[in-house]
Structure 1
């Protein structure tokens, strides 16, 4: 694939989005639509796109904490669906590995070399610290952690507030617009650009790369997967230019400088560099972006909670936690058993794939009363597992919470009420859980 993005960073405007590419491919090849027969095979993306996943997971939770799916297009796997079970598996990282060498953090299979040869494909791995075990995970995580300390959040808050206020003041009144593109993407992409000290005029490249990186189901379609790999290599080439520019400069607070001056990360392979970029971009973009959209959609669905938000701005910090719980912007993480073990009365074999369904744990009736309802005064909203648990808990959680809190505060300061007023399109994926389009209209309360 030609280095189009390095030469013309605006090329994302004419390249297909990941979701459009997959939709077009399946329209042209209907025989490749994936059939699922197991009742608990929740790897299928249609149930999230159509927002009908809730009763399937509720049935599983009622029957037990974990369930085995013996056959699916993605191979056999265990569904881990209860809150206590997800926490338990996350708390044993040596027994249940996150490493890319064992399969990584998504439900997709890691093909064996013989299978790749049969398919005529080369191995394409993206090592990243969330998909590593200790001790390597520890060193790389510590490299970027200083970007998300309480002191850094305090330093960033004024800028976040200024950008958020400026954007909200620019929103049209009396006409319908797409909240996802106009607000959620713009705010989170701008934040990423600041974290990387990324060229501002090219910031929408970060969204483009995030979408192609996060749509993991593309890997099931050879042509699209190869196109996806090319896009990610273009991303790495662009960042390599930034790396080269800063290699001889004084250390700065941006993430690229932190990696350059870290013994744990300054000798990364090209694949590892690419993988950690994907992690930071998807983690910093899709998760916050989809919760920003989820807040608006949930307030429209539960007008009593929108009214409570309008009457009780003191509830905003808790409302942030509840909206993160309710939306759950990443549906799952995957682990792989490193040895035979007993888990909640079931025998899990070495090499078995366990899928930790955060969006199910966040709707666990044993933990959250009336879990399918938004309740911004919920006393235990902070028990949500949207950021994970244990050593792999999201390193940027504080920044996500800050951005969401500032958004709600600035909306309240303007007495802004947002109504869903048109098309709602969800992400067609089993990993990223969110919205592609959310047409709204702004009024005043």
Structure 2
């Protein structure tokens, strides 16, 4: 197989490097799929970080087919796989060319696409032929245009049509954007076999604590303002204000890891905070049936990362206009809110991210068509706010009441009957 023009480097001698963080983003669909799965990795080399990440994602019952970047290096790549041990060798098959591969659940392009728009389109069409129904194609493209402007434009176009997730990896040389594309509908039942996806928007500090990229940016802005103030007025202590604010501002965007309950019937909290109300109501925007709504208030001291309370498929997303009343008050019912609608095995489930008196910015990272695992991060709300979960009233029973404290992704707020 000759190398496609769409996967050459950004210059004659400047290939696009894929570091460990970008490799994890490229293989996240493999890593999160907990059931028996099949994968196809195209354009691999023995020292490829993407190949290493794909192998790490394998579980018993999985199968991975690997197509080398250089057809002359097939035997070398086979020897490399064999050297990983019998367990890996039994699950990884190296083929001479893409034509020998079978249809799989996940296709990963190991090398970023940097060709023209037409070359990129042809390459995507070629790779998409090897997807099973509902399968995902994962590819990377340089985040900055340069000579990859055509590839970037084509991926943006296809992402708008078929995208089920995107990750910007700044810690890479050069920075890359990873696109996950699904060309045919996925079965809702698959969501129950998924683990929460790896998110590059979450920057690790320790094994159990991360900071959302919004917090990194906010902290950097505060430090920058302090530096400018110190330069502009060296004799003043005004620079201390933004300098001292940097740490608490960044801490507001903390994103801790959470242990999900093992009970498959459990519905988890979508956010940290205090339960404001548990009530039955009707909302014609989501259907004719009655819903059980559990509203949680997030103070400025709570973790503001929002999570999916259940496993399901995102089938709609819309923003409703409104005011900015204090989130703990009744008037917050009419605040600006973003609604993520999920189709699940138990019916329609909705997560409403509501703004508050201070909160004016909602971040939602779950595009329509994406499959969400229970407890998966879907976005955040900046500063004090409220998150509501709507469940089919005839299918779920609440296990919390007004005044209870809950922890997003860990606390059980209801159970399916």
Q: TM-score range by the shorter chain?
A: under 0.3
* Larger strand percent: 2
Task: Kindly name which structure, 1 or 2, has the bigger radius of gyration based on alpha carbons.
Answer: 2
Provide TM-score, normalisation by structure 1: 0.25
Bigger RCO of structures 1 and 2 (CA < 8 A, at least 6 apart): 1
